[in-house]
Structure 1
Amino acid sequence: MAGKLRHWKERNGRFSARVVIPPYLRPYLDDKAELEIQLGGDRRAAIRNHAAAVASIQRQIGIARQKHDAATGQRPKTPAYPLTAQQIALRDYHSQIDFDAELRANDSRYAQFGVDPDEAQRFRDGFAGKLSDDELEELVGARLARARLAGNTDAVKGTDKWRALAQALCVASYEAMAREDERNEGDFAGKPTHPLLAEAPPIYNDEPDPITFDNIIDDEVKRRARGKNAKPLPALTVKKYRDHCAAFGKWRKSKNALTVTAAEGKGWIESLQDAGELGNRTVKAMLQNVRTVMNWGRQNDPANFFPSGNPLNGIKAPDYTTLPSYLRAFTMDEAKLVLTTARREEKPMFRWIPWLCAYSGMRVSEAGSLRKEDFFEVNGRWFWKVTTVGNRSLKTASSERRIPVHKALADEGLVDFVKAAKPGRLFRGDTKDSVLVQPRISTWVRGIIPFEERPELSPNHGWRHLFEDLCRRDHVPEDARNYITGRTDGGSQEQYGRSEVMLPGLAAAMDQIHAIPTVHNYGHTRPTS
């Protein structure tokens, strides 16, 4: 076999013809995503019956397409499943041969009648070009209409294309009648002699039906969201996988995940490295994300999706060096400068996110999604929740936590800001509520501490590094530090407790952290609390 049969499905030793229904036609087919006809467990018989089954399915989809076009007033588009006249004739020929065999198997009277020579002569005149378009339509018009309905052609009467297809169907019928005559004499070895059929390649596709990276990601998103206590994939995580797979697909000029090769994976990461725009750490993450999506494809269909293994698994990811943590952190002087500058900002995003991160080690993305409703008071002390409530996403399960408001934040007026804020997000965009704050905060910080002066600094994550050091300096207990920053050490104790009973102790731990000195607008330094 030159390749895998198009619309062919094999599962657990059973075979079927399967055609995916375009999304816009599914409402006309009971909202089904695909149509499938079972072909049994005999492979040879399944292959023999496959073409007819596919044609039957395509005709059903064609009827749905007609209904859609009539309902929307759209003009018919290009054929959905285009075949050449030669391929349509070959399929029609095999369909007639199979029907002949079925009649012989079920009715002993059938073989007692010979072929009609006059009818055979008409088909011969048809492919010889002796018949008019009207005569051809009378002879093979119904079969030509079925081909149109199946989406195999858009040929219309009066065109050269239509006439060529009609003549090809005459060849199919003439050759089928010749086989019928031979079989009546006991000869079942006959084959077509007309070049149109004798030289026609099998209707195979060199590739199975495409499975795009987005198809795989969509399936995984549905799988993760299924069930009562499901853990859906965060929206930003889904976007990351889509973006990296799209970049890979654009480079290799194909979205079909079924055709990925190890050589392509290697070539892609080398092209990213050679471009010099991304660091090796980012390139490695992109490769890992595409590899993960490919693994999902294998998990969903291990029998058909790279049954011998993910071709990207054997590729060595790029190596990279990491800067020491202290180089990425804010120094005390830098923190003092940024927090002092933030005090003069009118936009809440720049006024409060640096302060929140400085006194909690929060990720900037977590701070950016805070809502008024996340803040609460217990026994006169204010706290805020870092939570997934409201379709928000966190990096890990341990990131769900409650954080005491540090005295420096209270003195700055954070609680008053929260009380006066409207319900919902505290940090909105100019034109929409939900915005990505990371690039905005990073650009803002770099306006204060230029990249040329401190290229190693992480403008967003640097607060997280600094807060860890503040906790170490002021002897904050490790378990409290891990909880406040949303880190995990994997211990079983993390699965217990964490009720409101612990909040006073957590607040006491936060109070051990001395405030970062800042400069008032009038130029003097605020004392350390």
Structure 2
Amino acid sequence: MPLLMPRPLKRPGSTFHQLVQRIPADVADKARGLTLAIPIGETVAQIPITPTRKDIRTSLRTRDPQEAKARQAVAVAYLESVWEAIRKGPKRLTHKETLALAGEVYRAWADTFEDDPGPPERWVRVEAANIHANAGRYGQASLKILSPQERRAQSVEERVGGFTDAMLAKRGLVIDAESRRRLNDQILSALRQATVVNLRRAGGDYSPDQGAKRFPSFPEVTGETKAVSLLALFDGWARERKPSQSTVDQWRKHVQAFIAFLGKDDAGQVMKADVVRWKDALVEAGGSPKTINDAKLAAVKAAYAWGVKNVRVASNPVIGVSVAHRKRAGEQMQGFTDAEAEAILTAAVKETRPHLHWIPLLCAATGARVGEIAQLRGQDVIEQDGIPALRITAEAGSVKTLGSERVVPIHSAVIAAGFLEFARGKRGPLFFDPAKRRTGAKKPQHKIVAKYVAEWVQELGLEKVGRSHRKDPSHAWRHRFKTLARQAHINDSVADAIVGHAPDSVAKAYGTVTLATMKDAVERIPLS
């Protein structure tokens, strides 16, 4: 019976999260003497099970809570597969399985250095170490009094044992001693073959390695095990997480694009190298780092995370894969200047269309996202504690994060302009008519309205407004609000509460910002 998923813990004196899982009582005796190779992010943690060990403890090697949960899910799935394998008894690898695992090491070693193998001298040194291992003269084995056979076996273990552990960890295998010895030998042979290939490439010879064809694929498991559809994993995530329909539609397309790139829909057969190849192809095609990381890779990563958590797949191959990108000078988004804000608000006053008349003013007065204002309903204009306010809630459409749901006071200038009279007595959306939604339309109406507002701002002819000038019409109000808040000496925690930014530390999350405090702050924001 699988154990309940433990929570990542913090070890005293360390800021890293830690995995702690008890060794099941029914496998404790049989597990003694094993060394586990637990996948932790990009690395493998070697954990020996000694006679006195009662549980498995290892650092998850990250301070980020979400990353810790993802890494823990992968590690727990591996441990569960190990416990189950122990219950069934150590597996004896067939000759074909042994060569297939060795082939995976060959491909990883050859592919990693294909583009930049470095100088030939590097591979001469690597092959020298391989030769020493094959002759029993590598590492500590050469210093011990052993028979020639024992010395060679230990020497090979020291040389390639890490590769062996990684291959076994990937498939959750527990094998017998004889299988491990044979696997070590084949991996050393594969490593030597890959070393020769890299040596040739370092010398300028990229002709195909005909010997690579000797490695078979790892045999498919027959019986109850079936292919796991990546699309099915994504749909499971979407049903449970319930993001906006537009997110589901867009992310599903990204998952389908990944499947088309692979040429198959079997989540269990995807390796990290496959994800890296897709990422590289997206970069080569000119995709922006933000879109690749936060949308395309994020969609596939979410599907796998759900699959790991719900025991559909053993690991998430997307973890650790991203486009390296550092914001450079001139890339940070900015807020509207005083002149730009005045021009936009002056144009809005002259507009008779409600969404163009009110949304810019409300964004300027609250620092809210354009979409948050565009989805407001009549029932979201409220009075609380005697203060007129806006209720920004997912009930109206969607919000970016849990912290985005909030109640914010309405600026006196907005009230003086007649907004309360405009909203009074209305039920349902203020800025669009749901009855006019096109049949089959997928994009939420409030996002269409937000797009119209952004296009309207662009059409005003302001010289330096637009994404190319780092002033996205949908977000520049938020940047401006925070700038004006600092100028007015408004506490950052108060400004964050108004615009819906999450606290950046646990300490700042304590306590609440009252509506009266926010009202006082909002009134200090100039709108003219």
For residues 247 and 347 of structure 1, the distance between their equivalents in structure 2, rounded to whole angstroms, comes to 40
**Range moving further from structure 2, 364-373 or 248-257:** 248-257
Cα deviation 1:147-169 (Å, max 9, x = unaligned): xxxxxxxxxxxxxxxxxxxxxxx
For the Cα contact (< 8 Å) 2:237–2:302, is it kept in 1?
A: no
Equivalence for 1:512: 524
User: Secondary structure of the residue that 1:394 maps to in structure 2?
Assistant: coil
Equivalence for 2:352: 346
Code of the aligned partner of 2:307? G
Equivalence for 1:288: 298
User: Considering only aligned residues, what root-mean-square deviation do their CA atoms show, in Å?
Assistant: 3.5
TM-aligned CA deviation for residue 268 of structure 1: 2.0
For the Cα contact (< 8 Å) 2:404–2:501, is it kept in 1?
A: yes
Cα deviation 1:349-377 (Å, max 9, x = unaligned): 22221111111111122112111101112
Equivalence for 1:479: 493
Cα deviation 1:24-65 (Å, max 9, x = unaligned): xxxxxxxxxxxxxxxxx999xxxxxxxxxxxxxxxxxxxxxx
TM-aligned CA deviation for residue 443 of structure 1: 2.1
1:67-146 aligned at under 5 Å gives the runs none
Q: State which of 234, 237, 252 in structure 2 corresponds to 1:217.
A: 234
Equivalence for 2:252: 242
Q: State which of 236, 258, 262 in structure 1 corresponds to 2:272.
A: 262
TM-aligned CA deviation for residue 429 of structure 1: 5.2
For residues 259 and 328 of structure 1, the distance between their equivalents in structure 2, rounded to whole angstroms, comes to 44
Change (3 A) 1:318 1:411: same
Equivalence for 1:409: 414
Equivalence for 2:321: 315
TM-aligned CA deviation for residue 240 of structure 1: 4.6
For residues 333 and 243 of structure 2, the distance between their equivalents in structure 1, rounded to whole angstroms, comes to 33
Q: Verify: 1:330 aligned to 2:336, yes or no.
A: yes
Equivalence for 2:162: none
Q: Verify: 1:460 aligned to 2:474, yes or no.
A: yes
Change (3 A) 1:238 1:407: same
Code of the aligned partner of 2:420? V
For residues 492 and 236 of structure 1, the distance between their equivalents in structure 2, rounded to whole angstroms, comes to 35
1:319-398 aligned at under 5 Å gives the runs 319-321=325-327, 327-378=333-384, 381-389=387-395, 392-398=397-403
For residues 209 and 243 of structure 1, the distance between their equivalents in structure 2, rounded to whole angstroms, comes to 24
Change (3 A) 1:388 1:203: closer
Change (3 A) 1:271 1:245: same
Code of the aligned partner of 2:411? H
Q: Verify: 1:423 aligned to 2:433, yes or no.
A: no
Q: Which runs of 5+ in 1 are unaligned?
A: 1-11, 14-40, 44-201, 225-231, 518-529
Cα deviation 1:317-346 (Å, max 9, x = unaligned): 332425668753211111111122222223
For the Cα contact (< 8 Å) 2:465–2:473, is it kept in 1?
A: no
Code of the aligned partner of 1:408? A
Q: Verify: 1:400 aligned to 2:400, yes or no.
A: no
Change (3 A) 1:247 1:340: farther
TM-score by length of 2: 0.51
Q: Verify: 1:271 aligned to 2:281, yes or no.
A: yes
TM-aligned CA deviation for residue 398 of structure 1: 1.6
For the Cα contact (< 8 Å) 1:476–1:513, is it kept in 2?
A: no
Cα deviation 1:423-447 (Å, max 9, x = unaligned): 1011215822951233323222222
For the Cα contact (< 8 Å) 2:488–2:525, is it kept in 1?
A: yes
User: Secondary structure of the residue that 2:424 maps to in structure 1?
Assistant: helix
Code of the aligned partner of 1:248? F
Equivalence for 2:308: 298
Code of the aligned partner of 1:318? A
**Range moving further from structure 2, 481-490 or 209-218:** 209-218
For the Cα contact (< 8 Å) 2:293–2:322, is it kept in 1?
A: no
For the Cα contact (< 8 Å) 2:390–2:410, is it kept in 1?
A: yes
For the Cα contact (< 8 Å) 2:234–2:300, is it kept in 1?
A: no
For residues 473 and 325 of structure 1, the distance between their equivalents in structure 2, rounded to whole angstroms, comes to 23
Structure of larger gyration radius = 1
TM-aligned CA deviation for residue 449 of structure 1: 4.4
TM-aligned CA deviation for residue 288 of structure 1: 3.1
TM-aligned CA deviation for residue 273 of structure 1: 2.1
User: Secondary structure of the residue that 2:407 maps to in structure 1?
Assistant: strand
TM-score by length of 1: 0.51
Equivalence for 1:491: 506
Cα deviation 1:371-397 (Å, max 9, x = unaligned): 11011124654111112235x332222
TM-aligned CA deviation for residue 495 of structure 1: 5.7
Change (3 A) 1:450 1:248: farther
1:39-58 aligned at under 5 Å gives the runs none
For the Cα contact (< 8 Å) 2:230–2:267, is it kept in 1?
A: yes
For residues 270 and 517 of structure 2, the distance between their equivalents in structure 1, rounded to whole angstroms, comes to 54
TM-aligned CA deviation for residue 460 of structure 1: 0.6
Change (3 A) 1:344 1:257: farther
**Range moving further from structure 2, 429-438 or 397-406:** 429-438
Quote the sequence identity (%).
27
For the Cα contact (< 8 Å) 1:476–1:510, is it kept in 2?
A: no
TM-aligned CA deviation for residue 480 of structure 1: 1.7
Code of the aligned partner of 2:501? R
Change (3 A) 1:316 1:386: closer
For the Cα contact (< 8 Å) 1:363–1:464, is it kept in 2?
A: yes
For residues 318 and 336 of structure 1, the distance between their equivalents in structure 2, rounded to whole angstroms, comes to 39
TM-aligned CA deviation for residue 314 of structure 1: 4.7
For residues 400 and 314 of structure 1, the distance between their equivalents in structure 2, rounded to whole angstroms, comes to 31
Change (3 A) 1:208 1:331: farther
Change (3 A) 1:259 1:379: closer
For residues 368 and 206 of structure 1, the distance between their equivalents in structure 2, rounded to whole angstroms, comes to 54
Cα deviation 1:150-196 (Å, max 9, x = unaligned): xxxxxxxxxxxxxxxxxxxxxxxxxxxxxxxxxxxxxxxxxxxxxxx
Q: Which runs of 5+ in 2 are unaligned?
A: 1-25, 28-86, 90-218, 439-443
TM-aligned CA deviation for residue 464 of structure 1: 0.5
TM-aligned CA deviation for residue 243 of structure 1: 3.3
Cα deviation 1:246-300 (Å, max 9, x = unaligned): 3322333444333323333223222222222x32221122213312322221222
TM-aligned CA deviation for residue 483 of structure 1: 0.8
TM-aligned CA deviation for residue 463 of structure 1: 0.7
Code of the aligned partner of 1:415? L
For residues 376 and 517 of structure 2, the distance between their equivalents in structure 1, rounded to whole angstroms, comes to 23
For residues 372 and 450 of structure 2, the distance between their equivalents in structure 1, rounded to whole angstroms, comes to 10
For the Cα contact (< 8 Å) 2:493–2:508, is it kept in 1?
A: no
Q: How many residues in Structure 1 have an aligned counterpart in Structure 2?
A: 303
TM-aligned CA deviation for residue 413 of structure 1: 1.9
TM-aligned CA deviation for residue 497 of structure 1: 4.9
Code of the aligned partner of 1:364? V
For the Cα contact (< 8 Å) 1:295–1:310, is it kept in 2?
A: yes
TM-aligned CA deviation for residue 405 of structure 1: 0.9
**Range moving further from structure 2, 319-328 or 346-355:** 319-328
